[in-house]
């Protein structure tokens, strides 16, 4: 009996023969068990909903199909936010990390970003242990071929076995599998990933439901047998010995051994091989029609777009402690197998390298996300939520963030609560979802710190301050963790108050010590907070003066220093948020008739009617929206509010007279 049947029977043996035909109605069905599906299904089940997680292959739950890494620029912040809300990707990454590096340390704290290399097999095992042991979560292996819709409401799904599974909410997280097709040179085949079947039928079902679909493309580099790489002349890339973790709740109990990555480069010969092979490239011969990501182009794209560059970086990243596979980060391609082999042989350290798996491109269907509400529910189909690459995003972290919000909002929808909408000044997740539903995508969407206009407020170090209370209120942060967060927050605030009141005097002894420590002297009494604003003065210097706080946790010192040294910048950004809050708080009625507003151009009316923004703030971010159009909308909404107020007062007066 294979693992799929074992997993199925593990969840059915106690329910009797009736359940063997899946004749049951779930609160929530989640389709797809990648990073989005795991977060969505875990959130729903933990909040008490009877949930089914359906996947094409239970053995691939939690698989990392591309790079063996979590985090990085802009993505690290999302992982920390997911953890603060009660999600899992951060804890899984911490537990299976085999290298930790903090990127952008030479820049400001707004862009500091943790990145882990992960043991892929260990990550997958940890994710599967998580979902298989979660109460109220059933794991089923099957393919969803259609969604059921009745009166514009999603009522369940249909599987490839012809069975119908009823659900009050359906969350679709199919990744790259919807009509997936992979390309290696001029060869192509239907697949969601190399060696895995695509999801057929679901795209047509969504089209039949009235949704607009598009086609995107992504890719992955080859995997190399590490035993055939000559590392002797390559630059080692070690991790950080002293590093933070993604999770706010401390170091994992069992940490894995740490490894080094290595750096090499393409060269002129590599580039010449690529140029001479473009007639066999599906990207340049028109076989691939989907739009790929600008931020992470294939090596053939890099060579053609940057003809003056003689080399491009390649990071050689181990896929696991027990694996011999090396992920060649930087040479994603869809060129033929023989060209890929020749490329490797032209690169230093890879002259004798053997490919275990070739690089390939994958093309897949996605749903234009402007058809979604900010809750990630489809506007025109009630009770259908979409999360992950189906919404045009790329990356584990972006998918996980959407999955978590979709799960939380599925619960809130069923309990007739307002959806959780994270704002652009509250979370990177809020920036991402607002970008998706307001602007849509014309290429795979990836989070960057530059997308967040309030990024100094959205730092990795303060994700807990921003979001843990929301996670606790949602039922995803346990009481003991919330108590720990509150205690640490109190310690931080108490220490800030102490530093604001306690002073250092310009005594002879203090000045002599400052000179000895190569610190700039003082000419007046200064608070410790003022001293810590100085670039050369660190928290550890307080010990020398006997002014430290021995009870203050060492892992909070960096957060404390950021709050002190960037206080002025943070205050200015808070003021910016306040100015723009008026637009964000001006709600547009759901039934507002944009098409009847003659004072708006036809183009603007069509865009507003298509996206149906929930606020003036969201409307202002629609591409092509003008300040004049926002002014018109503001006036009309204000008038509508006055009319509603007058109408409500008249109704109350009439009711009183009737009595």
Range with the lowest mean pLDDT among 91-95, 143-147, 644-648?
Answer: 644-648
Range with the lowest mean pLDDT among 153-162, 364-373, 521-530, 588-597?
Answer: 588-597
Question: Is residue 10, in this structure, part of any structural domain at all?
Answer: no
Whether 254 shows a pLDDT value over 90: the answer reads no
pLDDT greater at residue 485 or residue 20 = 485
Residues 468 and 484 in one domain: no
Structural domain for 264, as ranges: 223-363
24-34: pLDDT as tens digits:
799 999 999 99
Question: Is residue 630, in this structure, part of any structural domain at all?
Answer: yes
Whether 385 shows a pLDDT value over 80: the answer reads yes
Residue 242, domain CATH = 2.40.30.260
Whether 581 shows a pLDDT value over 90: the answer reads no
Which pLDDT value is given to residue 6? 39
Residues 276 and 342 in one domain: yes
Whether 1 shows a pLDDT value over 80: the answer reads no
Domain count, the chain: 4
Residues 40 and 155 in one domain: yes
Residues 201 and 262 in one domain: no
Distance CA 117, CA 544 (A): 38
pTM: 0.91
* Three-state SS at 379: coil
Residues 423 and 549 in one domain: no
Last-in-domain residue among 522, 547, 573: 573
Which pLDDT value is given to residue 250? 81
How deeply is 525 buried, as exposed, middle or buried, from its count of CB atoms within 10 A (0-12, 13-18, 19+)? Answer: exposed
Residues 351 and 316 in one domain: yes
Sign of the four-CA dihedral 486, 490, 493, 499: negative
391-423: pLDDT as tens digits:
999 999 999 999 999 999 999 999 999 999 999
Question: Is residue 7, in this structure, part of any structural domain at all?
Answer: no
Residue 445, domain CATH = 3.50.50.60
Residues 358 and 369 in one domain: no
Which pLDDT value is given to residue 634? 86
Residues 270 and 170 in one domain: no
Question: Is residue 17, in this structure, part of any structural domain at all?
Answer: no
Which pLDDT value is given to residue 13? 40
Whether 641 shows a pLDDT value over 80: the answer reads no
Whether 79 shows a pLDDT value over 80: the answer reads yes
Residues 342 and 262 in one domain: yes
Under the banding of pLDDT at 50, 70 and 90, the label for residue 296 is confident
550-568: pLDDT as tens digits:
989 988 999 999 999 999 9
Residue 557, domain CATH = 1.10.10.1800
Provide long-range contacts, Cβ within 8 A and 24+ apart, for 413-416: 413/169, 413/375, 413/377, 413/383, 414/27, 414/28, 414/49, 414/168, 414/169
Last-in-domain residue among 348, 363, 378: 363
Residue 623, domain CATH = 1.10.150.570
- DSSP letter string over 412-468? HHHTT-------TTT-HHHHHHHHHHHH--SS-B---GGG-TTTTTS-GGGHHHHHH
pLDDT greater at residue 644 or residue 142 = 142
Question: Is residue 349, in this structure, part of any structural domain at all?
Answer: yes
The residues pairing with 263 across neighbouring beta strands, listed in sequence order, are 235, 315
Overall average pLDDT of the 364-376 stretch:
97
Distance CA 174, CA 152 (A): 22
Residues 203 and 61 in one domain: yes
Whether 22 shows a pLDDT value over 70: the answer reads no
How deeply is 151 buried, as exposed, middle or buried, from its count of CB atoms within 10 A (0-12, 13-18, 19+)? Answer: exposed
Which pLDDT value is given to residue 297? 87
The residues pairing with 603 across neighbouring beta strands, listed in sequence order, are none
Question: Is residue 580, in this structure, part of any structural domain at all?
Answer: no
Provide long-range contacts, Cβ within 8 A and 24+ apart, for 540-544: 541/517, 544/513, 544/517
Last-in-domain residue among 306, 338, 363: 363
Percentage, residues of the chain above pLDDT 90: 77
Distance CA 171, CA 367 (A): 13
Distance CA 305, CA 302 (A): 5
Question: Is residue 16, in this structure, part of any structural domain at all?
Answer: no
Whether 656 shows a pLDDT value over 50: the answer reads no
Question: Is residue 546, in this structure, part of any structural domain at all?
Answer: yes
Residues 274 and 380 in one domain: no
Nearest Cα residue to 177 out of 201, 154, 156: 201
299-343: pLDDT as tens digits:
999 999 999 999 999 999 999 999 999 999 999 999 999 999 999
pLDDT greater at residue 5 or residue 244 = 244
Whether 271 shows a pLDDT value over 80: the answer reads yes
Which pLDDT value is given to residue 301? 92
The mean pLDDT of the chain is 91
Residues 124 and 47 in one domain: yes
Under the banding of pLDDT at 50, 70 and 90, the label for residue 288 is confident
């Amino acid at each position: 009996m294979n693992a799929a049947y074992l997993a199925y029977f593990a969840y059915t043996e106690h329910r009797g023969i009736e359940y063997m035909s899946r004749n049951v109605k779930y609160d929530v069905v989640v389709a797809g068990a990648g990073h989005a599906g795991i977060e969505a299904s875990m959130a729903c089940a933990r909040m008490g909903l009877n949930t089914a997680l359906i996947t094409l292959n239970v053995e691939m739950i939690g698989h990392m199909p591309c790079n063996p890494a979590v985090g990085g620029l802009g993505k690290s912040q999302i992982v920390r936010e997911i953890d603060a809300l009660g999600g899992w990707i951060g804890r899984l990454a911490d537990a299976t990390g085999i290298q930790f590096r903090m990127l952008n340390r030479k820049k400001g704290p707004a862009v500091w970003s943790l990145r882990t290399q992960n043991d892929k097999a260990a990550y997958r095992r940890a994710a599967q242990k998580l979902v298989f042991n979660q109460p109220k979560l059933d794991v089923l292996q099957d393919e969803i071929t259609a969604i059921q819709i009745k009166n514009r409401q999603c009522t369940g799904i249909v599987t490839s076995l012809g069975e119908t599974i009823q659900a009050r909410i359906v969350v679709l997280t199919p990744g790259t599998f919807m009509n997936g097709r992979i390309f290696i040179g001029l060869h192509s085949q239907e697949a969601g990933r190399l060696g895995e079947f695509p999801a057929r039928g679901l795209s047509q079902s969504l089209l039949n439901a009235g949704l607009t679909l598009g086609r995107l493309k992504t890719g992955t580099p080859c995997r190399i047998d590490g035993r055939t790489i000559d590392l002797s002349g390559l630059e080692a890339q070690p991790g950080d010995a002293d590093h933070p973790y993604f999770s706010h709740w401390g170091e994992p109990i069992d940490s894995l051994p740490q490894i080094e990555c290595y750096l090499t480069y393409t060269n002129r010969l590599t580039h010449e091989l690529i140029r001479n092979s473009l007639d066999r490239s599906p990207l340049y011969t028109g076989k691939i029609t989907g739009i790929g990501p600008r931020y992470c182009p294939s090596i053939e794209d890099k060579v053609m777009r940057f003809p003056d560059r003689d080399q491009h970086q390649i990071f050689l990243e181990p896929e696991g402690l027990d694996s011999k596979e090396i992920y060649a980060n930087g040479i994603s391609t869809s060129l033929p197998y023989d060209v890929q082999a020749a490329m490797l042989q032209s690169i230093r350290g890879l002259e004798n390298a053997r490919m275990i798996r070739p690089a390939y491109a994958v093309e897949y269907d996605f749903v234009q996300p402007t058809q979604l509400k900010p809750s990630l529910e489809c506007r025109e189909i009630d009770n259908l939520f979409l999360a992950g690459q189906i919404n045009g995003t790329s990356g584990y972290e972006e998918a996980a963030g959407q999955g978590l919000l979709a799960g939380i909002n599925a619960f809130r929808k069923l309990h007739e609560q307002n959806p959780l909408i994270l704002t652009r000044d509250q979370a990177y997740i809020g920036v991402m979802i607002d970008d998706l539903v307001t602007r849509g995508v014309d290429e795979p969407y990836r989070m960057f710190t530059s997308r967040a206009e309030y990024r100094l407020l959205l730092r990795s170090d303060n994700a807990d301050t921003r979001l843990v209370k929301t996670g606790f209120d949602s039922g995803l942060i346990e009481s003991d963790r919330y108590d720990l967060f509150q205690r640490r927050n109190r310690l931080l605030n108490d220490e800030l108050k102490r530093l604001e009141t306690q002073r250092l005097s310009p005594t002879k002894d203090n000045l002599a010590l400052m000179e000895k420590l190569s610190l700039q002297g003082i000419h007046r009494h200064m608070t410790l907070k003022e001293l810590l604003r100085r670039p050369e003065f660190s928290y550890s210097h307080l010990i020398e003066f006997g002014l430290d706080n021995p009870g203050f946790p060492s892992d909070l010192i960096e957060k404390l220093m950021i709050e002190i040294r960037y206080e002025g910048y943070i205050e200015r950004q808070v003021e910016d948020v306040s100015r723009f809050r008026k637009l964000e708080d001006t709600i547009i009625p759901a039934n507002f008739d944009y098409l009847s507003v003659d004072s708006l151009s036809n183009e603007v009316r069509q865009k507003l009617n298509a996206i149906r923004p929930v606020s003036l703030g969201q409307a202002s971010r629609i591409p092509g929206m003008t300040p004049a159009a926002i002014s018109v909308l503001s006036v009309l909404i204000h008038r509508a509010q006055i009319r509603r107020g007058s109408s409500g007062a008249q109704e109350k007066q009439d009711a009183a007279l009737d009595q």
